[in-house]
A and B are shown apart, each in its own frame.
Chain A
Amino acid sequence: MKDVYILAIETSCDETSVSIVKNGNEEINTVVLSQIDIHKKFGGVVPEIASRSHVENITIVIEECLNNSNMKVEDMDAIAVTYGPGLAGALIVGVEAAKTLAMIYNKPLIAVHHIAGHIYANRLEKKLKFPLICLVVSGGHTEIIYMKEDYSFQKLGGTLDDSVGESYDKIARVIGVPYPGGPIIDKYSYMGKHTYNLPVPLDDDSFNFSFSGIKSAVINLVHNEKQRGNEINVYDLSKSFEDVVVDILVKKTMKAVKKYEVKELLVAGGVSANRFLRETLKEECDKQNVELIVPELKYCTDNAAMIAAAAYNMYLDNRFSDLDLKIKPTDKIN
Chain B
Amino acid sequence: MICLFFDTSLETLKVTLTKDYNIIYDKEINSKNDHSSYLVPFINEAFKKNNIDFKDVDKIIVGIGPGSFTGTRISITVAKTYASSLNIPVIGISSLEQMIYDVNGYDYYVPIIEEKNNNIYYSIYDKNKIRIQDDTYSNNDVLFSKLSEFNGKVAIISNSNKIYEGYDCFNKSINVCEIIKNIYNNNEEKNPHLLKPNYIKKIEVEEKL
Taking A59-B81, A101-B81 as contacts, is the C-beta distance between A96 and B69 under 8 angstroms? no
Cross-chain contact B78 with A96 (CB below 8 angstroms): yes
* Per-position binary interface string of chain A over residues 48-60, scored 1 when its CB falls under 8 Å from any chain B CB and 0 otherwise: 1101100110111
A62 to B80, CA, bound (A): 11
Prevailing SS type, chain B contact patch: helix
How long is the Cα–Cα vector from A324 to B84 in the complex, in angstroms? Answer: 22
- Pick the contact of A100 from B34, B70, B81, B205 — CB < 8 Å? B81
Q: How many A residues are at the interface, by size bracket?
A: 20 to 34
B54–A104 contact, CB under 8 A?
A: yes
Chain A residue at minimum C-beta to C-beta distance from B8: A96
Cα–Cα distance between A55 and B77 once the two chains are bound (Å): 6
Select which of B43, B70, B197, B206 is within 8 A of A92 by beta carbon: B70
Q: Which of these, B34, B41, B73, B192, contacts A323 with CB under 8 Å?
A: B41
Whether A326 lies near B36 (C-beta < 8 A) is yes
Contact (Cβ within 8 A) A323 B81: no
B82 and A104 contact, CB distance less than 8 A: yes
Q: A95 CA to B73 CA in the complex, in Å?
A: 11
Q: Is B76 an interface residue (CB 8 A)?
A: yes
Q: Find the residue from B85, B197, B209 having the highest chain A CB count within 10 A.
A: B85
Across the interface, B193 reaches (CB within 8 A) one of A48, A52, A59, namely A59
* B residues less than 8 Å from A101 (CB atoms): 81, 85
**B38:A324 contact, CB within 8 angstroms:** yes
Contact with A along B160-192 (1 / 0, CB 8 A): 000000000000000000000000000000001
Question: Does residue B154 face the partner (Cβ distance < 8 Å to A)?
Answer: no
Is A247 close to B, CB under 8 A?
no
Task: Tell me the complex Cα distance, A88–B33, Å.
Answer: 12
How long is the Cα–Cα vector from A100 to B39 in the complex, in angstroms?
10
- Is the CB–CB distance between A96 and B74 below 8 Å? yes
Q: How many Å from the CB of B38 to the closest CB on chain A?
A: 7
- Is B196 close to A, CB under 8 A? yes
- Distance from B209 Cβ to chain A, minimum over Cβ atoms (Å): 7
Which secondary structure dominates chain A's binding surface? helix
Number of interface residues of B (CB under 8 A): 33
Contact A55 B82 (CB under 8 A): no
Most buried by A among B55, B82, B199: B82
Q: Is A243 engaged at the interface, CB distance under 8 Å to the other chain?
A: no
Contact for A46 among B74, B85, B205, CB less than 8 A: B205
Considering the complex, give the chain B residue whose CB is closest to the CB of A88.
B70
Q: Contacts A55-B76, A92-B73 known; A327 to B82 CB distance under 8 Å?
A: no
B84 touches A59 (CB 8 A): yes
A236 at the interface (CB under 8 A from B): no
Q: Does A215 contact B (CB under 8 A)?
A: no
Say if the beta carbon of B86 comes within 8 Å of chain A.
yes
The reply to whether B69 and A48 form a contact with Cβ atoms under 8 Å apart is yes
The answer to whether A89 touches B70 (Cβ under 8 A) is yes
A59 to B40, CA, bound (A): 17
14 A-B contacts, Cβ less than 8 Å apart?
A: A55-B73, A55-B76, A58-B80, A59-B85, A59-B193, A92-B73, A96-B39, A96-B73, A96-B74, A96-B77, A97-B77, A97-B78, A100-B78, A326-B36
Where the two chains meet, the residues of B that have a C-beta atom closer than 8 Å to any C-beta of A are 34, 36-41, 43-44, 54-55, 69-70, 73-74, 76-78, 80-82, 84-86, 192-193, 196-197, 199, 203, 205-206, 209
